[in-house]
Amino acid sequence: MSDQSQGETPLVVLSERITNSAAFGTLFRDGMDLVEETAAYLDGAGRTDAKALERSASLVYATESMRLTTRLMQLASWLLLHRAVKEGEMTLTQANREKTKVKLTAADPGAEDMIEKLPASLQDLIARSMTLQNKVRRLDATIHAPPSDHVSIGNPLVPQMNMLKAAFER
């Protein structure tokens, strides 16, 4: 067996590869589509829906639509930041510094009993934005996790192969 195959191979750092994955591409598209869909709703059918609400529900509508847009803008910022990493416009280290300006915990929705007073379309957008936020939070935790103290053990098959070699050389 050659020394090269017995030597250590460099570790693949998952956090550096995630933004290049198909899963990130899908998450990016879904997030940006949700931003566009929400904007279209709030500027169109949402205005009509809001006018039809009673006064107390109208206040909830205004509050929750602001929370929704704030949440989506923070998520879009995070997604765009990591797309820049994918495109090679910045390093993951630079993105890590910049992402401190993005608040992934921003604007959680209000109480469920208040949300139930809202039009179904807005409720759906809120629920989908929360699903997106949870996905982005998990991905963020994976990408920006502190490096583990990896202890290199080399190729784990080498000791087994050495024992086999020693057994057959007798």
Tokens 């990896």 found at: 150
pLDDT above 90 covers a percentage of the chain that reads 50
* Per-residue pLDDT at 157: 79
Tokens 């693949």 found at: 12
Question: How sure is the predictor about 45, in pLDDT bands with cuts at 50, 70 and 90?
Answer: very high
- Rounded Cα distance between 57 and 135, Å, is 29
Tokens 């996790």 found at: 145
Topology (CATH) of 13-169: Helicase, Ruva Protein; domain 3 (1.10.8)
Packed helices 55-86 and 120-143: angle between N→C axes, nearest 10 degrees: 30
* Per-residue pLDDT at 3: 45
Q: Kindly report, residue by residue over 83-132, the tens digit of the pLDDT.
A: 998 888 988 888 888 888 888 887 788 889 999 999 999 999 999 999 99
Residue 150 contacts by C-beta under 8 Å, 6 or more apart in sequence? 11
Average pLDDT over residues 11-24: 65
Question: How sure is the predictor about 13, in pLDDT bands with cuts at 50, 70 and 90?
Answer: very low
DSSP 8-state secondary structure symbol assigned to residue 145: P
Residue 15, both tokens: 């956090």
- Rounded Cα distance between 137 and 85, Å, is 17
- Rounded Cα distance between 83 and 60, Å, is 34
Average pLDDT over residues 2-18: 51
Residue 135, both tokens: 């996905």
Question: How sure is the predictor about 14, in pLDDT bands with cuts at 50, 70 and 90?
Answer: low
* Per-residue pLDDT at 28: 95
- Rounded Cα distance between 72 and 76, Å, is 6
Contact 27, 139 (CB under 8 A): yes
- Rounded Cα distance between 84 and 79, Å, is 9
